[in-house]
Amino acid sequence: MYLVNGIVYAGELTENIKIKEAKPLPYGMLLLTFSTGEKRLFDTTMLQGSAFAPLSDEKVFSDVHVSHGFVSWMNGEIDCAPEYMYENSYAYEEEFVI
């Protein structure tokens, strides 16, 4: 729990994490580099709903962009919060992957 401007929030106060780089990999995986310097793997196939359906098209998926710390596709029509991507990704160990 933490307090900001007299308001109590659940959870832990964390720095604003941003994505610096995104590299598309096979099977809907992204190799993300975060503002912390960490590299992590994120599985986009876990993104549910009609908004994310176009990502099943390999051409759309591989045309990923990073802007203002966010990952986006289709000129910003599809995006995902960097905090969500960080919390739902896995540490990348270079000696074990690709």
65-85 pLDDT per residue, tens: 999 999 999 999 999 999 999
CATH topology of domain 15-91: NE0471 N-terminal domain-like (3.30.2020)
pTM above 0.85, yes or no: no
Name the helix (H) or strand (E) containing 84: helix 82-87
Q: 11 vs 14, 26, 39, 94, CA distance in Å?
A: 9, 34, 24, 31
Per-residue pLDDT, averaged over 28-54, amounts to 96
- Measured distance CA(82)–CA(69) in Å, rounded: 7
Tokens (6 digits) for 97: 């992957």
Structure confidence at residue 6 (pLDDT): 75
| pLDDT of amino acid 39 | 96
